[in-house]
Chains A and B, each alone.
Chain A
Amino acid sequence: MFRYEKMLEYPINIKKKDLKMAKLLNSQLGGPDGELGASLRYLCQRFTMPDERGRALLSDIGSEELGHVEMISTMVRQLVKGASIEELKEAGLDAYYTSHKRGIYPMDANGVPFTTAYIASTGDPIVDLAEDMAAEEKARATYENLMDLTSDPDLLAPLSFLRQREVVHYERFKELLEYYKNNKIS
């Protein structure tokens, strides 16, 4: 069961409107290495984890990723809020406006809608954990690319926080995979 807490994992406080960055940030919402995919990936895979450690870790990281979905959505919303039609057109968001106005919709930076084809859940814990480690590293790289594309500290702070979380998750998945391999659990 899930219960909502009425706060973000890390505060987001964007003062400057930036439609270009809003468009790009979508890649971490509904893109191939985005937070929504991460959350679904772990919350599906946890059902076939072979021991308590795996069940606990995938449940906990999957839940944290849901909080990251909320953070990215908040960033996109705050960046888009109050933009005029002209500004949206100029930033290449006119197609977005046609379907979603100034709302939130999980898609990547090019407007490709989110698909579960981005995730894998094979039922084999060794395969799944290897996939999870790769996913965390891809997300980390995407955050670094996004950080290269902006100079606004209000954006850089939460992006650097989220990037560091990928580092931690990678470390935990790696420890679990090593534990399973060393103890021949699968």
Chain B
Amino acid sequence: MAAAATSQMASTNLSMLHFKGGGKRDLRKRKVLTVSAQEVDVQEDVKVEKEEEKEKQKQQQTLKQPRPVEPQMNVKSKNMAREYGGQWLSSATRHVRIYAAYVDPETSEFDQTQMDKLTLILDPTDEFVWTDDTCNQVYSYFQELVDHYEGAELTEYTLRLIGSDIEHFIRKLLYKGEIQYNMNANVLNFSMGKPRIGFNYKDGQIQDVNL
């Protein structure tokens, strides 16, 4: 895929921007925050991460440092409709929503004119319990994939390849036991397999549940 270098969209340095959760839910969270002011909720909001897309600084760490986009002010929804020629480029699966657009984390304004950015919305239905650490793992994997697919054509197919890889990565995290199902989720259908309580994930051996 990365070899498909000559294309019209080849100049897109896919920059990125990601945050967790959808806009409406975030507003609700903020309300909760003003009332109870729990630390967990504060962290949830801080997870709205952005950085400037700069020249490549390859880090020698195992985890690639994500390079989020700088937050923008006064973002307005633009080019949403087909009559304005807007292409709705996205890959939407349950836990990963990727849009080739800038989505404002506060107001959820959706600026489709900024097609040089990819926005990742991680697990909008809150199926898993996320920590900062696991979120960052997913973000850095996202950055890694975006760098890997640099030069590829910006199509739904490419976005879907990226989104699927992230979904597989999330499943791997789940199987390793690093994230868990959120038992307070709205829809509790265990979309990545039934939870296996009592199994030891680390050494791959199945232990007796009664032990």
Partners in one complex: no
**Interface positions of A (Cβ within 8 A of B):** none
B interface residues, Cβ below 8 angstroms from A: none
